[in-house]
Structure 1
């Protein structure tokens, strides 16, 4: 039995037949990608709708309370990219007890989710260009558009994932401390806590001037960080130094205790820091799963197109 193809083709004709077969396969694959791109668009539109600023069933009311203590007790309601209402009762060690209520006429914006919504809109634009404007029969064009879409989706997933929390034994904070994020190095779409502050009318009563309140969204919840600040220009009292030296008073330890920040134009230190994570946000959880699925789907299309075009990842890059 022979494995020779019958009828036998001369080398030149065989090469031509292979090229024609590859061209037909590439054309078929590019046509099938149009359906996949339409599916990606539908998934992105669903993700975009989940960050709509309109109050609807997609809103999430989340409990924010410290476990096994009364430091922080409360709840907030997130709709889209904003926290529209909530109430938080604080009993911090270095401040008198205070009950804060969010002013519903002045919602609290979450810039990270606003940036995520912008990225989703950019991803939708890139798909529209691929479907309706560019050359759908050009493998190189479709390949470059898939790379663009993939990079946007990776950034969106990164924005939603938030910081990674590191466990540090012995920390007094309710949650493990998190390292500095890229936003704390000047990213305008994810500004650090010391560059943003709620407006005076955001809470009733207004926040004390020496209290910073920062909300950070993650893939599954919101992280509330409270910081009691003290100006560096005010030296520590002699009594406080003596009480600390003899052990009668213990300094509240945290990861920012020896750092100096510029907050509202004034150099300050963080005297007390409390970090607490809200209950699970079902909308953010679904959004994270959908984004992860979209990333995997686009990666599969990129891999298939490389195989059909006969190029490797190195050549592709």
Structure 2
């Protein structure tokens, strides 16, 4: 079945009519996008409000699974950790005399260094950038210029994607624990030199990794693991280690970093003990869900405008 125009139109006139129709579609879409940008601003404001530094903040419970290795809490206000107490029970970190655990307390002194979650700072910066783009698009730009609006939508889409990625914890800019150690004076008393305290965000949850460290001595070599299995040892422990365990001594602890060497504060170190604890943060979960919804909406707007403009294939080639 075919569709014919009757009476027939000359090819030049047909192309002119097609161009005029396309232009009317673009104009209609650009007008409707102004309303969509208004709703986008509202959603971005909600995200910014969820990450804003409002008292009393979010208090998150920290507890290691199926063990007493780590118990405590932290309080987050915006991007900062303003309060916290962590009790550790690790063989490599003996508690003070008369105590059953080693206590880490985040200092409340106004002169103490601040513990900041860099990923939340990145997310807030990107959300604010999106709000600026929306305002520029609605009030100072050429709302009738399809190329301008398409470029603004692309910028919005990329910024929202990066903001969501920061909350998911999968950005390339995120520093590792040994690259970005916390200031020992952020704690009262100061954090012990052989302890690494690292906070980050993963899947909109606050992730805490506490590590006890030991210096790598020159006579051991930097490639020697903490415990080398010997031939005939089915358990992976040497005879010496099994004897230590049988006599009630500290058994070696195995984790994903046990055999690695890291450069930490100018020293080569190994991780003796490692405790990893996640705590779900309702505000961060809500912000990530909203950013996901906004990402999908802006993606649809981008694609719709590109289809009407006839630039969809060009955009796909550039992204590919």
Show the counterpart of 2:106.
102
How does 1:301-316 map onto structure 2 within 5 Å? 301-315=301-315
Query: Separation in 1 of the partners of 2:43 and 2:124?
Result: 14
Alpha-carbon distance in structure 2 between the residues aligned to 1:220 and 1:122 = 20
1:204, CA displacement in angstroms? 2.2
Q: How many residues align?
A: 287
Structure 1 residues 235 and 69: alpha-carbon distance in aligned structure 2, compared to 1, 3 A threshold: farther
Note the 1:129-140 alignment, pairs <5 A: 129-140=136-147
- Aligned runs of 1:130-279 on 2, under 5 Å? 130-163=137-170, 182=172, 187=173, 190-233=174-217, 244-246=238-240, 247-249=242-244, 250-278=251-279
CA deviations over 1:172-206 (Å, ceiling 9, x no partner): xxxxxxxxx73xxxx3xx22111223323322222
Structure 2: how far apart are the matches of 1:4 and 1:244?
A: 86
TM-score by length of 2: 0.82
Runs of 5+ consecutive residues of structure 1 not aligned to the other structure: 164-180
1:120 equivalent to 2:115? Answer: no
Q: Secondary structure at the match of 1:248?
A: helix
On the 8 A contact 1:84/1:104 being kept in 2, the answer is yes
Q: By how many angstroms is 1:303 displaced?
A: 1.3
Is this contact kept in 1: 2:63–2:277, CA < 8 A?
A: yes
SS at match of 2:314: helix
Cα distance 1:272–1:244, how it changes in 2: closer, same or farther (>3 A)? Answer: farther
Contact 1:47 1:287 (8 Å CA) reproduced: yes
CA separation of 1:91 and 1:54: change in aligned 2, threshold 3 A: same
Q: Provide the residue aligned with 2:286 in structure 1.
A: 286
How far did 1:120 drift? 1.3
Q: What is the distance in 1 between the residues matched to 2:305 and 2:140?
A: 20
Q: After the TM superposition, which residues 13-32 of structure 1 pair with which residues of structure 2 at under 5 Å, given as runs? A: 13-32=13-32
The separation in 1 between residues aligned to 2:202 and 2:256, in whole angstroms, is 20
**2:70 is matched with which residue: 72, 78, 82?**
72
Give the structure-1-normalised TM-score.
Answer: 0.83
SS in structure 2 opposite 1:100? Answer: strand
SS of corresponding position for 1:194: coil
Task: Give the alignment's Cα RMSD to 1 decimal.
Answer: 2.4
Q: Judging changes above 3 Å, is the alpha-carbon distance between structure 1 residues 241 and 235 closer, same or farther for their aligned structure 2 residues?
A: farther
Question: Does structure 2 retain, via aligned residues, the 8 Å contact 1:244–1:251?
Answer: no
Gaps in structure 2 of 5+ consecutive residues: 95-100, 221-225, 229-236, 245-250
| Poorly superposed stretches of 4+, deviation over 6 Å | 240-243
Quote how far apart the aligned CAs of 1:219 are: 3.0
| Higher CA-based Rg | 2
- Contact in 1 for aligned 2:200/2:208 (Cα 8 Å): yes
